[in-house]
Structure 1
Amino acid sequence: MGEQPIWTTRAQIFEIDRATKTSWIPCTKQAIPISFYHDTNRKTYRIISVEGSKAILNSTITPNTVFTKTAQKFGQWSDPKAGTIYGVGFPNEEDLLKFSEIFQQAKEPDTHSKSLTVENGKPKYSINRSSSMNSNSSTGSANQDEVPPSSNSSKTSNSIDAQLKYENDKLKLALAQSSANAKKWETELQNLRNNNARLTTALQESTSNVEEWKKQLLMYKEENEHLRLRVQELTKKENAEGFSQIQAEKNSLESKVGRLEKSLEQQSNEIAKMTLELSEAQTLKLTNNELADKVRDLKVENEKLQKVSYELSSKQRIIDEQKGKIGELEELFSKMKSHFAEMNHLRETMDKRFKA
């Protein structure tokens, strides 16, 4: 009958990257038919997949072939004859389990005396009588006298040696890759340790800076409180003593000025009266002595007026000095307010930094 398919499914086929031995190279872009074939004459099982006119997969199953499920929908096996590792990805886990079960049954030694078929996705066996008879006869002859190893056993031994060599090479590559990865991880670990040390140092510096900022903030708060109390004292003192005193002096000086103005007005009236009297005296031809007396009286009154004017100018100078002091106090108050505004801005900045 030759080679016949016994079960077919669909899967995406992969092949191991022979350079790295760690990554997969897809042989197909999507899932394609993949079949188990049984050769009744040679008593062999193969996995074959063809896309168009190109054979994507042609792998013979031997008793030493091991199929491994590496993921929920992915499995792999090693093919020493092809010198590679094949991987298959299924659309669901059920197909993977059926594939694994048929693969396991196909690689077992007793399948050489049976014919493996699949019904509803489950493997079934039918006994091959000729194979069974040949097996029994060969067993009986072996009990009578020893028979040298056949060519099939030699091929099996060579296949085992090739697979062991391949697995050994694979383990060597994996060990070399592991050593390289270990060195890489050691370097990364050292980098992480260095970064951790730098971060620890930066954290300690930040902590010390925060403590220093707290001290400065406390100092600024104390200085602010001291200045606030000082301003309150100055305000109370200046307002209660200096300003009230200046205001009283100002009021007193204004009252004096008022009185002096009234006195000056009276003196002016008197001078006008005297001038009128003088004119009347001249008209009446007063004597020289009377005129001299009037002139002296006028001089005396003039000197009094000059003294009053001098006192007024002195008082006005005092008032100007007091106004200058008041201006200086107002300038001091404005400077203190500006300083308070700067301190409040600094305190808000420090609070934002602490919250951040």
Structure 2
Amino acid sequence: MGEQPIFSTRAHVFQIDPNTKKNWVPTSKHAVTVSYFYDSTRNVYRIISLDGSKAIINSTITPNMTFTKTSQKFGQWADSRANTVYGLGFSSEGHLSKFAEKFTEFKEAARLAKEKSQEKMELTSTPSQESATGDLQSPLTPESINGTDDERIPPDPSQNSEPRAETNAVPFPHSTSTNMTKHWEAELAALKSNNAKLTAALLESTANVKQWKQQLAAYQEEAERLHKRVTELECVSGQTTGIKNQKTELNQTIEELEAALKAKEEELERLKAEVEKANELQLQKDTATQKLQETETRTAELEAQLGELEKRVESSQTEQETFRKNLRSLLELLDGKIFELTELRDNLAKLIDGGSS
């Protein structure tokens, strides 16, 4: 059939619950192969996954699709043609990133292929063929408006009007003017009908977009719970090499964190000891400062007492000098009195001696 796998990986496959549009329903009991296929005959890319002989994923990639990573190991995309949302749970973040890169790459390739197909159709078609094609493709569906129809697109009325204007510019015989007028009136009526259908399809598409936005908000709310559920499913499916490696890395990280924590605790103990020592030194400093203040106060008191003593000594010395002066004066006075008494005695003795003779 010309369809060949171009990339494969393994993942757990889920689909959104069609009833609640919120919960995920596992479509595989264990991890299965999920592959990208390229159909060279139709120039389209598809995502296919088989669980035994049952196809649990058959999604054609279109330019308007988006693959969203909702967690480190889980991603999802919406397929409006299949009217569902697919979810894939991977064993590692690297597998998820690789799948997302391929999705973006093949989506871009699908867009380029679609543009080339459109250009080729425009170049090979004639004005009359474009008009006929517009009549044939007039019934539009919401899927084609949403961009899920990757094989053909509805013609643009503006593109059909240009070649008709050129044809109308060519002179026609007078006999055929009435027929051409009826023909153009019929074409105009067909274009109005197509425009009405296109408007209705666009309104329906807008409603679908709003609904998908609401569903996307619900999916984001369920992302954390989904991540836990995928982890549980991975545990049930068995210990894979990726999980073992991740556990080994986590154990190493835990050991490193424990070693760092132990070092921090030792550093904390050392800092506590230094703080206690600093507190003791501060206490000693406060005690010494208090003693110094007391000593300074005592010194000031002693200096005051010494000043008073010096004043008293000076006063005492002054008093002693005055006392000495008084004593000298008294002694001199006494010496004069003694000298007078001696003379008086001598005179009395002379009087006594003269009377006895």
TM-score (normalised: structure 2):
0.38
So what's the TM-score if we normalise by structure 1?
A: 0.38
